[in-house]
Structure 1
Amino acid sequence: MTGYPSACARAYGRIELFSIGPDYLAVRKADPWSADPWEKLGAPGSLGIPPAVVSMRQENIEAFFHFGHRNTYNSLKATPWSGWYPFDCQSQWPIAVCSWGPNRMDLFKVGTGDGRALGHKWFENGVWSNGWENLGGQFGNGVAAASWAPGRIDVFGVGYGNRAIWHKWFDNGSWSNGWEDMQGITNDAPSVASWGPGRLDLFHTGLDRAVYHKWFAGGWSGWENMGGIAWSGTATAAPGPGRLALFHRGRENTIWVRKFGF
Protein backbone atom coordinates (compact mmCIF):
# COMPACT_ATOMS: atom_id res chain seq x y z
CA MET A 1 0.00 0.00 0.00
CA THR A 2 1.08 3.57 -0.63
CA GLY A 3 -1.64 5.08 1.57
CA TYR A 4 -2.84 4.77 5.13
CA PRO A 5 -5.55 2.23 6.06
CA SER A 6 -9.11 2.89 7.18
CA ALA A 7 -11.68 0.39 8.42
CA CYS A 8 -15.31 -0.07 9.41
CA ALA A 9 -17.68 -2.88 10.38
CA ARG A 10 -20.76 -3.26 8.18
CA ALA A 11 -22.24 -6.35 9.90
CA TYR A 12 -21.49 -8.60 12.87
CA GLY A 13 -18.02 -10.06 12.33
CA ARG A 14 -17.66 -8.29 8.96
CA ILE A 15 -14.82 -5.78 8.56
CA GLU A 16 -14.13 -3.67 5.48
CA LEU A 17 -10.59 -2.33 5.00
CA PHE A 18 -9.66 0.51 2.61
CA SER A 19 -6.39 2.08 1.50
CA ILE A 20 -4.49 3.48 -1.49
CA GLY A 21 -2.75 0.90 -3.68
CA PRO A 22 0.66 1.08 -5.38
CA ASP A 23 -0.98 2.58 -8.50
CA TYR A 24 -2.48 5.32 -6.30
CA LEU A 25 -6.04 4.04 -6.73
CA ALA A 26 -8.53 3.49 -3.90
CA VAL A 27 -8.69 -0.19 -2.92
CA ARG A 28 -10.77 -2.36 -0.61
CA LYS A 29 -10.60 -5.80 1.06
CA ALA A 30 -13.08 -7.62 3.32
CA ASP A 31 -12.74 -9.97 6.29
CA PRO A 32 -12.58 -12.99 6.20
CA TRP A 33 -9.45 -12.09 4.29
CA SER A 34 -8.99 -13.94 1.03
CA ALA A 35 -5.95 -14.45 -1.16
CA ASP A 36 -7.70 -12.47 -3.89
CA PRO A 37 -6.17 -9.15 -4.95
CA TRP A 38 -7.45 -5.96 -3.41
CA GLU A 39 -10.54 -4.69 -5.21
CA LYS A 40 -9.88 -1.45 -7.09
CA LEU A 41 -12.57 1.17 -6.59
CA GLY A 42 -11.69 3.24 -9.61
CA ALA A 43 -10.65 6.60 -8.21
CA PRO A 44 -7.33 8.15 -7.22
CA GLY A 45 -6.53 9.06 -3.64
CA SER A 46 -3.96 11.09 -1.73
CA LEU A 47 -1.08 9.14 -0.23
CA GLY A 48 -0.84 10.82 3.15
CA ILE A 49 -4.56 11.12 3.86
CA PRO A 50 -6.54 8.00 4.79
CA PRO A 51 -10.11 7.54 3.60
CA ALA A 52 -13.01 7.98 6.02
CA VAL A 53 -15.50 5.10 5.99
CA VAL A 54 -18.67 4.29 7.90
CA SER A 55 -21.65 1.93 7.84
CA MET A 56 -25.03 3.49 8.67
CA ARG A 57 -26.85 0.17 8.49
CA GLN A 58 -26.04 -3.46 7.76
CA GLU A 59 -24.41 -4.04 4.36
CA ASN A 60 -24.06 -0.29 3.66
CA ILE A 61 -20.79 1.65 3.40
CA GLU A 62 -20.11 5.32 2.78
CA ALA A 63 -16.49 6.04 1.85
CA PHE A 64 -14.79 9.43 1.48
CA PHE A 65 -11.42 9.61 -0.27
CA HIS A 66 -9.28 12.73 -0.46
CA PHE A 67 -8.67 13.63 -4.08
CA GLY A 68 -5.36 15.16 -5.12
CA HIS A 69 -4.36 18.65 -4.06
CA ARG A 70 -7.81 20.23 -4.32
CA ASN A 71 -8.82 19.42 -0.72
CA THR A 72 -12.02 17.85 -2.00
CA TYR A 73 -13.37 14.41 -1.28
CA ASN A 74 -15.29 11.94 -3.39
CA SER A 75 -18.00 9.85 -1.77
CA LEU A 76 -18.90 6.29 -2.63
CA LYS A 77 -21.91 4.31 -1.47
CA ALA A 78 -22.14 0.53 -1.17
CA THR A 79 -23.36 -2.05 -1.93
CA PRO A 80 -23.34 -2.57 -4.84
CA TRP A 81 -20.83 0.18 -5.41
CA SER A 82 -22.10 3.38 -6.94
CA GLY A 83 -20.01 5.81 -8.91
CA TRP A 84 -17.94 8.56 -7.31
CA TYR A 85 -19.52 11.90 -6.46
CA PRO A 86 -17.72 15.16 -5.55
CA PHE A 87 -17.98 16.20 -1.93
CA ASP A 88 -16.28 19.49 -1.12
CA CYS A 89 -14.67 19.36 2.33
CA GLN A 90 -11.87 21.93 1.96
CA SER A 91 -9.48 20.22 4.36
CA GLN A 92 -5.86 19.19 3.97
CA TRP A 93 -6.05 16.79 6.93
CA PRO A 94 -7.75 13.41 7.38
CA ILE A 95 -11.47 13.69 8.08
CA ALA A 96 -13.56 11.40 10.30
CA VAL A 97 -17.08 9.99 10.01
CA CYS A 98 -19.26 7.99 12.40
CA SER A 99 -22.88 6.83 12.63
CA TRP A 100 -25.22 6.49 15.62
CA GLY A 101 -28.01 4.71 13.74
CA PRO A 102 -29.70 3.96 10.41
CA ASN A 103 -29.53 6.82 7.89
CA ARG A 104 -27.47 9.07 10.18
CA MET A 105 -23.78 9.94 9.86
CA ASP A 106 -21.64 12.73 11.30
CA LEU A 107 -18.62 14.09 9.45
CA PHE A 108 -15.72 16.04 11.00
CA LYS A 109 -12.88 18.01 9.42
CA VAL A 110 -10.08 20.37 10.39
CA GLY A 111 -10.78 23.75 8.81
CA THR A 112 -8.46 25.61 6.48
CA GLY A 113 -9.55 29.23 6.84
CA ASP A 114 -10.91 29.41 10.37
CA GLY A 115 -7.86 28.94 12.56
CA ARG A 116 -7.81 25.14 12.21
CA ALA A 117 -11.04 24.76 14.18
CA LEU A 118 -12.98 21.50 14.00
CA GLY A 119 -15.96 21.57 11.64
CA HIS A 120 -19.01 19.29 11.92
CA LYS A 121 -21.60 18.36 9.29
CA TRP A 122 -24.27 15.67 9.51
CA PHE A 123 -26.44 13.60 7.19
CA GLU A 124 -29.86 12.39 8.32
CA ASN A 125 -32.69 10.76 6.37
CA GLY A 126 -31.21 11.65 3.02
CA VAL A 127 -30.35 15.31 3.70
CA TRP A 128 -27.07 17.04 4.64
CA SER A 129 -27.06 19.83 7.23
CA ASN A 130 -26.50 23.36 5.94
CA GLY A 131 -22.89 24.49 6.23
CA TRP A 132 -20.41 23.40 8.90
CA GLU A 133 -20.86 23.75 12.65
CA ASN A 134 -17.73 25.26 14.27
CA LEU A 135 -16.65 23.21 17.31
CA GLY A 136 -13.59 25.33 18.09
CA GLY A 137 -10.12 24.12 18.97
CA GLN A 138 -6.97 24.32 16.87
CA PHE A 139 -5.99 21.09 15.18
CA GLY A 140 -3.67 19.44 12.69
CA ASN A 141 -3.02 15.84 11.57
CA GLY A 142 -6.68 14.80 11.49
CA VAL A 143 -9.51 13.63 13.69
CA ALA A 144 -11.31 10.43 14.76
CA ALA A 145 -14.92 9.86 15.82
CA ALA A 146 -17.14 7.08 17.15
CA SER A 147 -20.65 6.61 18.55
CA TRP A 148 -21.61 4.20 21.31
CA ALA A 149 -25.39 4.89 21.31
CA PRO A 150 -28.05 6.93 19.47
CA GLY A 151 -27.44 10.64 20.13
CA ARG A 152 -23.88 10.08 21.40
CA ILE A 153 -20.66 11.06 19.59
CA ASP A 154 -17.06 11.16 20.81
CA VAL A 155 -14.57 13.03 18.63
CA PHE A 156 -10.78 13.28 19.03
CA GLY A 157 -8.36 15.71 17.38
CA VAL A 158 -4.60 16.18 17.37
CA GLY A 159 -3.63 19.61 18.65
CA TYR A 160 -1.83 21.90 16.25
CA GLY A 161 1.70 22.51 17.49
CA ASN A 162 1.62 20.45 20.70
CA ARG A 163 0.47 17.20 18.97
CA ALA A 164 -1.55 16.12 22.03
CA ILE A 165 -4.90 14.34 21.58
CA TRP A 166 -8.04 16.27 22.61
CA HIS A 167 -11.56 14.99 23.22
CA LYS A 168 -15.05 16.46 22.90
CA TRP A 169 -18.40 14.66 23.10
CA PHE A 170 -22.02 15.16 22.12
CA ASP A 171 -24.72 13.79 24.46
CA ASN A 172 -28.31 14.69 25.36
CA GLY A 173 -28.52 17.15 22.48
CA SER A 174 -25.47 19.32 23.21
CA TRP A 175 -21.68 19.36 23.05
CA SER A 176 -19.42 19.21 26.11
CA ASN A 177 -17.82 22.47 27.24
CA GLY A 178 -14.27 22.86 25.98
CA TRP A 179 -11.90 20.04 25.11
CA GLU A 180 -10.52 17.28 27.37
CA ASP A 181 -6.75 16.65 27.19
CA MET A 182 -6.16 12.93 26.58
CA GLN A 183 -2.35 13.25 26.76
CA GLY A 184 -0.42 11.18 24.23
CA ILE A 185 1.77 12.72 21.53
CA THR A 186 1.39 11.81 17.85
CA ASN A 187 2.16 13.02 14.36
CA ASP A 188 -0.71 11.04 12.83
CA ALA A 189 -4.49 10.96 13.04
CA PRO A 190 -5.76 8.75 15.91
CA SER A 191 -8.45 6.10 15.50
CA VAL A 192 -11.35 5.14 17.76
CA ALA A 193 -14.11 2.51 17.85
CA SER A 194 -16.91 1.43 20.18
CA TRP A 195 -18.04 -2.15 20.69
CA GLY A 196 -21.04 -1.22 22.85
CA PRO A 197 -22.68 1.40 25.12
CA GLY A 198 -20.20 3.17 27.40
CA ARG A 199 -17.11 1.67 25.72
CA LEU A 200 -14.46 3.41 23.61
CA ASP A 201 -11.08 2.16 22.38
CA LEU A 202 -8.66 4.89 21.25
CA PHE A 203 -5.37 4.29 19.41
CA HIS A 204 -2.52 6.44 18.17
CA THR A 205 0.98 6.03 16.73
CA GLY A 206 3.64 7.36 19.09
CA LEU A 207 6.73 9.33 18.14
CA ASP A 208 8.63 6.04 18.63
CA ARG A 209 6.35 4.51 15.92
CA ALA A 210 4.80 2.05 18.41
CA VAL A 211 0.99 1.87 18.68
CA TYR A 212 -0.63 3.06 21.92
CA HIS A 213 -4.08 2.17 23.29
CA LYS A 214 -6.40 3.82 25.79
CA TRP A 215 -9.94 2.76 26.62
CA PHE A 216 -13.03 4.14 28.34
CA ALA A 217 -15.31 1.93 30.44
CA GLY A 218 -16.78 4.14 33.17
CA GLY A 219 -13.48 6.07 33.23
CA TRP A 220 -10.33 6.40 31.15
CA SER A 221 -7.39 3.99 31.46
CA GLY A 222 -3.80 5.05 31.00
CA TRP A 223 -1.99 4.52 27.71
CA GLU A 224 -0.98 0.91 26.92
CA ASN A 225 2.02 0.28 24.62
CA MET A 226 0.90 -2.21 21.95
CA GLY A 227 4.30 -2.41 20.25
CA GLY A 228 4.64 -2.73 16.50
CA ILE A 229 6.38 -0.38 14.07
CA ALA A 230 3.68 1.74 12.46
CA TRP A 231 4.57 3.89 9.48
CA SER A 232 1.14 5.54 9.48
CA GLY A 233 -1.79 6.36 11.67
CA THR A 234 -3.92 3.48 12.87
CA ALA A 235 -7.36 2.25 11.80
CA THR A 236 -9.75 0.30 14.00
CA ALA A 237 -13.16 -1.33 13.76
CA ALA A 238 -15.45 -3.10 16.24
CA PRO A 239 -17.45 -5.82 14.45
CA GLY A 240 -19.27 -6.95 17.61
CA PRO A 241 -19.35 -6.75 21.42
CA GLY A 242 -15.88 -7.37 22.87
CA ARG A 243 -14.29 -7.44 19.41
CA LEU A 244 -11.69 -5.11 17.92
CA ALA A 245 -9.50 -5.15 14.84
CA LEU A 246 -6.52 -2.79 14.71
CA PHE A 247 -4.60 -1.94 11.52
CA HIS A 248 -1.50 0.02 10.58
CA ARG A 249 0.87 0.30 7.62
CA GLY A 250 4.30 -1.16 8.33
CA ARG A 251 7.62 0.24 7.15
CA GLU A 252 7.63 -2.27 4.26
CA ASN A 253 4.30 -0.71 3.10
CA THR A 254 2.12 -3.72 3.87
CA ILE A 255 -0.95 -3.56 6.13
CA TRP A 256 -0.76 -5.34 9.49
CA VAL A 257 -3.70 -6.37 11.68
CA ARG A 258 -4.05 -7.31 15.34
CA LYS A 259 -7.34 -8.63 16.74
CA PHE A 260 -8.96 -8.72 20.17
CA GLY A 261 -11.85 -11.01 21.18
CA PHE A 262 -11.88 -13.16 18.03
Structure 2
Amino acid sequence: MRTRLVRVVVAVVAALGVLGGTAVAAPSARAWYGWSSMGGRVTSGPAVSSWSQGRLDLFARGEDSAVWHKWWNGSSWSGWESLGGVIIDNPAAVSWGEDRIDLFGRGTDNALWHKWWDGSRWSGWESLGGVITSGPAVSSWSQGRLDVFAKGADNAVWHKWWNGSSWSGWESLGGTIIDNPAAVSWGPNRIDLFGAGADNALWHKWWNGSRWSDWESLGGVITAGPTVSSWASGRLDVFAKGTDNALWHKWWDGSSWLGWESLGGTFQHAPAAVSWGPGRIDVFVQGMDNAVWQRWWT
Protein backbone atom coordinates (compact mmCIF):
# COMPACT_ATOMS: atom_id res chain seq x y z
CA MET A 1 0.00 0.00 0.00
CA ARG A 2 1.20 3.52 -0.72
CA THR A 3 2.17 5.46 2.38
CA ARG A 4 -0.85 7.27 3.69
CA LEU A 5 -0.70 11.02 3.19
CA VAL A 6 -3.37 11.77 5.70
CA ARG A 7 -4.74 9.66 8.52
CA VAL A 8 -7.84 11.24 9.96
CA VAL A 9 -9.82 9.91 12.87
CA VAL A 10 -13.24 11.42 13.47
CA ALA A 11 -15.16 10.02 16.44
CA VAL A 12 -18.17 11.47 18.17
CA VAL A 13 -19.58 9.39 21.01
CA ALA A 14 -23.04 9.75 22.55
CA ALA A 15 -24.19 8.35 25.87
CA LEU A 16 -26.32 5.74 24.10
CA GLY A 17 -24.17 4.87 21.13
CA VAL A 18 -21.80 5.98 18.43
CA LEU A 19 -22.94 9.18 16.75
CA GLY A 20 -22.47 10.06 13.12
CA GLY A 21 -19.48 12.16 12.16
CA THR A 22 -18.36 14.13 9.15
CA ALA A 23 -15.12 13.15 7.48
CA VAL A 24 -12.39 15.74 7.43
CA ALA A 25 -9.75 15.22 4.79
CA ALA A 26 -7.29 17.10 2.63
CA PRO A 27 -8.25 17.27 -1.06
CA SER A 28 -7.74 13.92 -2.86
CA ALA A 29 -6.67 12.17 0.35
CA ARG A 30 -8.24 8.96 1.55
CA ALA A 31 -9.92 9.15 4.93
CA TRP A 32 -12.17 7.40 7.43
CA TYR A 33 -15.84 8.41 7.20
CA GLY A 34 -18.69 7.87 9.69
CA TRP A 35 -19.99 6.94 12.10
CA SER A 36 -23.46 6.20 10.60
CA SER A 37 -26.31 4.25 12.23
CA MET A 38 -27.85 1.26 10.47
CA GLY A 39 -30.56 1.07 13.13
CA GLY A 40 -31.98 -2.20 14.35
CA ARG A 41 -31.92 -3.78 17.82
CA VAL A 42 -29.19 -6.41 17.85
CA THR A 43 -27.84 -8.65 20.58
CA SER A 44 -24.49 -9.59 19.06
CA GLY A 45 -21.67 -8.14 17.09
CA PRO A 46 -22.48 -8.02 13.36
CA ALA A 47 -21.13 -9.96 10.37
CA VAL A 48 -20.71 -8.58 6.85
CA SER A 49 -19.91 -9.93 3.39
CA SER A 50 -19.68 -8.53 -0.13
CA TRP A 51 -20.21 -10.31 -3.45
CA SER A 52 -19.58 -7.38 -5.81
CA GLN A 53 -18.35 -3.81 -5.92
CA GLY A 54 -20.68 -1.60 -3.89
CA ARG A 55 -22.60 -4.55 -2.42
CA LEU A 56 -22.78 -5.16 1.34
CA ASP A 57 -24.75 -7.81 3.23
CA LEU A 58 -24.99 -7.19 6.97
CA PHE A 59 -26.08 -9.77 9.58
CA ALA A 60 -26.63 -9.77 13.34
CA ARG A 61 -28.54 -11.64 16.02
CA GLY A 62 -31.84 -9.98 16.90
CA GLU A 63 -33.66 -9.77 20.22
CA ASP A 64 -35.43 -13.03 19.24
CA SER A 65 -32.01 -14.77 18.78
CA ALA A 66 -32.70 -15.17 15.05
CA VAL A 67 -30.29 -13.85 12.40
CA TRP A 68 -31.39 -10.56 10.84
CA HIS A 69 -30.19 -9.27 7.48
CA LYS A 70 -29.86 -5.83 5.87
CA TRP A 71 -28.13 -5.03 2.57
CA TRP A 72 -26.69 -2.13 0.58
CA ASN A 73 -27.36 -2.39 -3.18
CA GLY A 74 -24.92 0.32 -4.22
CA SER A 75 -27.27 3.24 -3.65
CA SER A 76 -29.47 2.55 -0.61
CA TRP A 77 -29.93 0.29 2.41
CA SER A 78 -32.80 -2.18 2.64
CA GLY A 79 -34.81 -2.68 5.79
CA TRP A 80 -34.01 -5.51 8.18
CA GLU A 81 -35.37 -9.00 7.36
CA SER A 82 -35.35 -12.13 9.53
CA LEU A 83 -33.48 -15.22 8.31
CA GLY A 84 -34.70 -17.28 11.24
CA GLY A 85 -32.61 -19.73 13.19
CA VAL A 86 -31.53 -19.46 16.81
CA ILE A 87 -27.91 -18.50 17.49
CA ILE A 88 -26.09 -17.64 20.69
CA ASP A 89 -23.11 -15.60 19.46
CA ASN A 90 -21.95 -13.43 16.59
CA PRO A 91 -22.72 -14.85 13.12
CA ALA A 92 -20.16 -15.05 10.30
CA ALA A 93 -20.60 -14.54 6.56
CA VAL A 94 -18.57 -14.70 3.36
CA SER A 95 -19.09 -14.68 -0.40
CA TRP A 96 -17.11 -16.84 -2.84
CA GLY A 97 -18.77 -15.50 -5.99
CA GLU A 98 -21.34 -13.15 -7.44
CA ASP A 99 -24.72 -13.37 -5.73
CA ARG A 100 -23.48 -16.08 -3.33
CA ILE A 101 -23.43 -15.77 0.48
CA ASP A 102 -22.61 -18.41 3.09
CA LEU A 103 -23.80 -17.63 6.61
CA PHE A 104 -22.74 -19.43 9.81
CA GLY A 105 -23.72 -19.32 13.47
CA ARG A 106 -23.32 -21.13 16.76
CA GLY A 107 -26.56 -22.87 17.67
CA THR A 108 -28.05 -23.41 21.11
CA ASP A 109 -26.60 -26.95 20.93
CA ASN A 110 -23.10 -25.41 20.49
CA ALA A 111 -22.86 -26.92 17.02
CA LEU A 112 -21.95 -24.98 13.88
CA TRP A 113 -24.98 -24.10 11.73
CA HIS A 114 -24.99 -23.03 8.08
CA LYS A 115 -27.39 -21.24 5.70
CA TRP A 116 -26.67 -19.94 2.19
CA TRP A 117 -28.01 -17.65 -0.54
CA ASP A 118 -27.68 -19.16 -4.04
CA GLY A 119 -28.67 -16.08 -6.03
CA SER A 120 -32.42 -16.64 -5.90
CA ARG A 121 -33.32 -17.92 -2.43
CA TRP A 122 -32.04 -18.70 1.05
CA SER A 123 -31.58 -22.35 2.01
CA GLY A 124 -32.77 -23.72 5.31
CA TRP A 125 -30.38 -24.01 8.23
CA GLU A 126 -28.20 -27.15 8.37
CA SER A 127 -26.06 -28.44 11.24
CA LEU A 128 -22.35 -29.00 10.59
CA GLY A 129 -21.82 -30.46 14.04
CA GLY A 130 -18.91 -29.91 16.35
CA VAL A 131 -18.82 -28.35 19.80
CA ILE A 132 -17.82 -24.69 19.58
CA THR A 133 -17.59 -22.12 22.33
CA SER A 134 -17.52 -18.92 20.26
CA GLY A 135 -19.09 -17.44 17.22
CA PRO A 136 -17.43 -18.75 14.04
CA ALA A 137 -15.25 -17.04 11.45
CA VAL A 138 -15.19 -17.87 7.75
CA SER A 139 -13.04 -17.10 4.72
CA SER A 140 -12.94 -18.17 1.08
CA TRP A 141 -9.92 -18.29 -1.25
CA SER A 142 -11.64 -19.59 -4.40
CA GLN A 143 -15.03 -20.31 -5.91
CA GLY A 144 -16.78 -23.01 -3.89
CA ARG A 145 -14.16 -23.00 -1.13
CA LEU A 146 -15.05 -22.27 2.51
CA ASP A 147 -12.81 -22.35 5.60
CA VAL A 148 -14.62 -22.05 8.94
CA PHE A 149 -12.94 -21.48 12.31
CA ALA A 150 -14.21 -21.39 15.89
CA LYS A 151 -13.01 -21.72 19.47
CA GLY A 152 -13.36 -25.24 20.80
CA ALA A 153 -14.08 -26.48 24.30
CA ASP A 154 -10.29 -26.52 24.89
CA ASN A 155 -10.02 -22.80 23.89
CA ALA A 156 -7.96 -23.73 20.81
CA VAL A 157 -8.99 -22.74 17.30
CA TRP A 158 -10.69 -25.50 15.32
CA HIS A 159 -11.01 -25.61 11.52
CA LYS A 160 -13.49 -27.20 9.12
CA TRP A 161 -13.59 -26.67 5.34
CA TRP A 162 -15.73 -27.21 2.26
CA ASN A 163 -13.72 -28.24 -0.84
CA GLY A 164 -16.51 -27.66 -3.33
CA SER A 165 -18.19 -31.05 -2.90
CA SER A 166 -17.95 -32.13 0.76
CA TRP A 167 -17.19 -30.95 4.28
CA SER A 168 -14.02 -32.07 6.06
CA GLY A 169 -13.92 -33.09 9.69
CA TRP A 170 -12.71 -30.73 12.38
CA GLU A 171 -8.96 -30.19 12.91
CA SER A 172 -7.25 -28.32 15.74
CA LEU A 173 -4.99 -25.38 14.90
CA GLY A 174 -3.91 -24.99 18.50
CA GLY A 175 -3.45 -21.70 20.26
CA THR A 176 -5.52 -20.30 23.10
CA ILE A 177 -8.12 -17.63 22.36
CA ILE A 178 -10.72 -15.96 24.54
CA ASP A 179 -13.32 -14.90 21.98
CA ASN A 180 -14.39 -15.28 18.37
CA PRO A 181 -11.56 -15.74 15.84
CA ALA A 182 -11.33 -13.81 12.54
CA ALA A 183 -10.17 -14.97 9.11
CA VAL A 184 -9.69 -13.62 5.60
CA SER A 185 -8.08 -14.64 2.30
CA TRP A 186 -6.19 -12.21 0.07
CA GLY A 187 -5.43 -14.72 -2.69
CA PRO A 188 -5.68 -18.35 -3.85
CA ASN A 189 -4.73 -20.85 -1.15
CA ARG A 190 -3.95 -18.09 1.37
CA ILE A 191 -5.68 -17.67 4.74
CA ASP A 192 -4.84 -15.28 7.59
CA LEU A 193 -6.31 -16.18 10.97
CA PHE A 194 -6.49 -13.95 14.06
CA GLY A 195 -7.61 -14.25 17.67
CA ALA A 196 -7.48 -12.50 21.04
CA GLY A 197 -5.04 -14.48 23.18
CA ALA A 198 -5.23 -15.25 26.88
CA ASP A 199 -2.89 -12.26 27.35
CA ASN A 200 -5.40 -10.03 25.48
CA ALA A 201 -2.88 -9.46 22.69
CA LEU A 202 -3.70 -10.00 19.01
CA TRP A 203 -2.40 -13.35 17.72
CA HIS A 204 -1.92 -14.38 14.08
CA LYS A 205 -1.50 -17.64 12.17
CA TRP A 206 -1.54 -18.15 8.39
CA TRP A 207 -1.85 -20.81 5.69
CA ASN A 208 0.59 -20.31 2.79
CA GLY A 209 -0.83 -22.98 0.48
CA SER A 210 1.12 -25.91 1.89
CA ARG A 211 1.26 -25.53 5.68
CA TRP A 212 0.09 -23.53 8.68
CA SER A 213 2.55 -21.18 10.36
CA ASP A 214 3.05 -21.07 14.10
CA TRP A 215 1.07 -18.53 16.08
CA GLU A 216 2.72 -15.09 16.40
CA SER A 217 1.84 -12.22 18.73
CA LEU A 218 1.04 -8.83 17.19
CA GLY A 219 0.74 -7.15 20.58
CA GLY A 220 -1.87 -4.65 21.64
CA VAL A 221 -4.49 -5.04 24.35
CA ILE A 222 -7.87 -6.05 22.93
CA THR A 223 -11.04 -6.95 24.81
CA ALA A 224 -13.04 -8.84 22.18
CA GLY A 225 -12.41 -11.00 19.16
CA PRO A 226 -10.91 -9.10 16.21
CA THR A 227 -12.11 -8.77 12.63
CA VAL A 228 -10.07 -8.58 9.44
CA SER A 229 -10.51 -7.56 5.81
CA SER A 230 -8.29 -7.42 2.73
CA TRP A 231 -8.59 -5.14 -0.30
CA ALA A 232 -5.50 -6.31 -2.24
CA SER A 233 -3.00 -9.14 -2.47
CA GLY A 234 -0.81 -8.97 0.64
CA ARG A 235 -2.98 -6.35 2.35
CA LEU A 236 -4.58 -6.96 5.77
CA ASP A 237 -6.62 -4.59 7.94
CA VAL A 238 -7.37 -5.82 11.47
CA PHE A 239 -9.83 -4.15 13.84
CA ALA A 240 -10.57 -4.85 17.50
CA LYS A 241 -12.13 -3.34 20.62
CA GLY A 242 -9.65 -1.71 22.97
CA THR A 243 -9.75 -1.27 26.74
CA ASP A 244 -11.51 2.07 26.12
CA ASN A 245 -14.25 0.24 24.13
CA ALA A 246 -13.17 2.17 21.02
CA LEU A 247 -12.31 0.66 17.64
CA TRP A 248 -8.59 0.12 17.06
CA HIS A 249 -6.89 -0.61 13.73
CA LYS A 250 -3.63 -2.34 12.73
CA TRP A 251 -2.61 -3.15 9.17
CA TRP A 252 -0.11 -5.13 7.10
CA ASP A 253 1.09 -3.25 4.01
CA GLY A 254 2.68 -6.24 2.30
CA SER A 255 6.02 -6.04 4.10
CA SER A 256 5.43 -4.87 7.69
CA TRP A 257 2.79 -4.33 10.36
CA LEU A 258 1.72 -0.76 11.20
CA GLY A 259 -0.56 0.70 13.91
CA TRP A 260 -2.25 0.55 16.29
CA GLU A 261 -4.47 3.61 15.63
CA SER A 262 -7.76 4.51 17.30
CA LEU A 263 -10.85 5.00 15.13
CA GLY A 264 -12.91 6.09 18.11
CA GLY A 265 -16.48 5.16 18.87
CA THR A 266 -17.85 3.07 21.73
CA PHE A 267 -19.24 -0.37 21.06
CA GLN A 268 -20.01 -3.87 22.32
CA HIS A 269 -18.80 -7.30 21.23
CA ALA A 270 -16.57 -8.01 18.24
CA PRO A 271 -16.65 -5.74 15.15
CA ALA A 272 -17.04 -6.85 11.50
CA ALA A 273 -15.17 -5.65 8.41
CA VAL A 274 -15.15 -6.28 4.66
CA SER A 275 -13.70 -4.79 1.49
CA TRP A 276 -15.57 -4.65 -1.82
CA GLY A 277 -12.73 -3.11 -3.83
CA PRO A 278 -9.19 -1.66 -3.76
CA GLY A 279 -8.78 0.97 -1.06
CA ARG A 280 -12.27 0.42 0.35
CA ILE A 281 -13.08 -0.91 3.85
CA ASP A 282 -16.44 -1.03 5.64
CA VAL A 283 -16.47 -1.68 9.40
CA PHE A 284 -19.59 -2.37 11.51
CA VAL A 285 -20.11 -2.54 15.27
CA GLN A 286 -22.92 -2.99 17.78
CA GLY A 287 -23.27 0.41 19.44
CA MET A 288 -24.11 1.03 23.07
CA ASP A 289 -27.71 1.66 21.93
CA ASN A 290 -27.79 -1.88 20.40
CA ALA A 291 -28.07 -0.48 16.88
CA VAL A 292 -25.50 -1.38 14.22
CA TRP A 293 -23.08 1.43 13.32
CA GLN A 294 -20.88 1.77 10.25
CA ARG A 295 -17.58 3.46 9.49
CA TRP A 296 -15.78 3.28 6.12
CA TRP A 297 -12.43 4.05 4.51
CA THR A 298 -12.29 5.30 0.94
Q: What is the TM-score when the length of structure 2 is the normalising length?
A: 0.81
Rounded Cα–Cα distance in structure 2 between residues aligned with 1:13 and 1:134: 36
Partner amino acid, structure 2, of 1:110:
K
Q: Does 1:145 align with 2:187?
A: no
- In the alignment, which residue of structure 1 is the partner of 2:282? 245
Q: Does 1:122 align with 2:161?
A: yes
Q: CA deviation at 1:85?
A: 1.0
- In the alignment, which residue of structure 2 is the partner of 1:54? 94
Q: CA deviation at 1:248?
A: 0.4
Rounded Cα–Cα distance in structure 2 between residues aligned with 1:232 and 1:110: 16
Rounded Cα–Cα distance in structure 1 between residues aligned with 2:147 and 2:65: 27
Rounded Cα–Cα distance in structure 2 between residues aligned with 1:116 and 1:58: 35
Q: Does 1:110 align with 2:146?
A: no
Of the three residues 63, 71, 83, the one matched with 2:110 is 71
* Preserved CA contact (<8 Å) 1:99 1:105: yes
| Aligned counterparts, 1:107-256, within 5 A | 107-112=148-153, 115-129=154-168, 131-160=169-198, 162-176=199-213, 178-217=214-253, 218-256=255-293
* TM-align CA RMSD: 1.4
User: Which one has a bigger Cα radius of gyration?
Assistant: 2
* Preserved CA contact (<8 Å) 1:166 1:179: yes
Rounded Cα–Cα distance in structure 2 between residues aligned with 1:2 and 1:219: 36
- In the alignment, which residue of structure 2 is the partner of 1:19? 60
Question: Per-residue displacement from partner, 1:205-242 (whole Å, max 9, x unpaired)?
Answer: 01110100011112110201100001221100101111
Question: Per-residue displacement from partner, 1:235-261 (whole Å, max 9, x unpaired)?
Answer: 001011111100101101111001111
* Preserved CA contact (<8 Å) 2:91 2:135: yes
Q: CA deviation at 1:136?
A: 1.4
| Aligned counterparts, 1:36-51, within 5 A | 36-46=78-88, 49-51=89-91
Rounded Cα–Cα distance in structure 1 between residues aligned with 2:98 and 2:52: 5
Q: CA deviation at 1:52?
A: 1.1
Partner amino acid, structure 1, of 2:65:
Y
Rounded Cα–Cα distance in structure 1 between residues aligned with 2:72 and 2:97: 18
Q: Name structure 2 gaps, 5 residues minimum.
A: 1-41
Rounded Cα–Cα distance in structure 2 between residues aligned with 1:101 and 1:242: 21
Q: Does 1:259 align with 2:259?
A: no
Percent sequence identity over matched residues? 38
How many pairs were matched up?
A: 253
If asked which structure has higher relative contact order (CA below 8 Å, sep 6+), I would say 2
Rounded Cα–Cα distance in structure 2 between residues aligned with 1:89 and 1:39: 28
Partner amino acid, structure 2, of 1:172:
G
Q: Secondary structure at the match of 1:76?
A: strand
Q: What is the TM-score when the length of structure 1 is the normalising length?
A: 0.92
Q: CA deviation at 1:95?
A: 1.5
Rounded Cα–Cα distance in structure 2 between residues aligned with 1:207 and 1:42: 33
More moved, 148-157 vs 7-16: 7-16
Q: CA deviation at 1:35?
A: 6.2
> Which aligned runs of 4 or more in structure 1 are off by greater than 6 angstroms?
none
Q: Secondary structure at the match of 1:101?
A: coil
Of the three residues 133, 139, 143, the one matched with 1:98 is 139
In proportion to residue count, which structure has more strand?
1
